[in-house]
Structure 1
Amino acid sequence: MNTLTGKIALVTGGNSGIGYAAANELKQQGAQVIITGRRKEAVEKAATDLDVTGVVADQGQLAAVDELAAFVKDRYGKIDILIINAGVLGGASIVQATEEAFDTVFNVNFKGAYFTLSRFIPLLNDGGSVVFLSSNTVSMDGANSSIYSSSKAALNAIMRIAAVELAPRHIRVNSISPGPTQTEILKKAGNADDQLQQLNNWMIDRIPLKQIGKAEDVGKRVAYFSSDAASFITGAELIMDGGMSLKR
Structure 2
Amino acid sequence: MQKLSNKVAVITGGNSGIGFATAQRFVAEGAKVLIVGRRQDAVGAAVEALGSAATGLAGDVADLGTHDRVAALVAERFGKADIYMANAGGIRIQPSLAVTPGDYDAQFLANARGMFFGVQKIAPLLHDGGAILLTSSIASRKVLDGHAVYAGSKAAIEAFARNWALEFKDRRIRVNVLSPGPTDTPIIGKLGIATEALSQVEEQAAQAIPFGRMGEADELAQAALFLCSAASEFVTGVNLAVDGGMTLT
Is the TM value for this pair above 0.5?
yes
Letter in 2 for 1:40: Q
CA distance in 2, matches of 1:18, 1:143: 23
**Aligned-partner SS, 2:2:** coil
User: 1:66 aligns to what?
Assistant: 68
Aligned partner of residue 55 in structure 1, secondary structure:
strand
Equivalent residue, structure 2, for 1:143? 145
Q: Which moved more, 1:162-171 or 1:90-99?
A: 90-99
Cα deviation for residue 193 of structure 1 reads 3.0
AA in 2 matched with 1:19: G
The code of the aligned residue for 1:220 comes to Q
Tell me the C-alpha RMSD between the 2 structures: 1.0
| Partner Cα separation in structure 2 for residue 219 and residue 107 of structure 1 | 25
Give 5+ residue unaligned stretches, structure 2.
none
Counterpart of 1:184 (choices 167, 183, 186) is 186
Q: CA-to-partner distance for each residue in 1:203-240, whole Å, 9 max, x for gaps?
A: 11111110110000110111111111100000001001
Question: Does 143-152 or 87-96 show the bigger shift?
Answer: 87-96
Distance across 1 between alignment mates of 2:43 and 2:32: 16
Query: What is the Cα deviation at residue 86 of structure 1?
Result: 0.3
CA distance in structure 1 between the aligned counterparts of 2:151 and 2:127, rounded to whole angstroms: 31
Higher mean displacement: 181-190 or 114-123: 181-190
The match for 2:174 is 172
Equivalent residue, structure 2, for 1:27: 27
Aligned 1:1-248 pairs, distance under 5 A = 1-51=1-51, 52-247=54-249
The CA deviation at 1:72 is 1.5
**How far, CA to CA, are the matches of 1:192 and 1:18 in structure 2?**
23
Percent identity, please: 39
Q: Which amino acid aligns with 1:177?
A: S
Q: Which whole-Å CA distance do the structure 2 matches of 1:25 and 1:191 have between them?
A: 30
Is contact 2:93-2:191 (8 Å) kept?
no
Deviation by residue 1:114-140 (Cα, 9 ceiling, x = unmatched): 100010110100000011111011111
The letter for the 1-side match of 2:228 is: S
Deviates more, 1:234-243 or 1:85-94: 85-94
- State the TM-score, normalized to the length of structure 2: 0.97
How big is the shift at 1:89? 1.1
Q: 2: CA distance between counterparts of 1:133 and 1:158? A: 12
Range that drifts further, 58-67 or 11-20: 58-67
Q: Structure 1, unaligned stretches of length 5 or more?
A: none
TM-score (norm 1): 0.97
Matches of 1:194 and 1:155 in 2, distance apart? 34
| In structure 2, C-alpha distance between the alignment counterparts of 1:139 and 1:206, rounded to whole Å | 15
The amino acid of 1:41's aligned partner reads D
CA shift digits 1:33-86 (9 cap, x unpaired): 110100110000000100111111110101121122122212211100001000
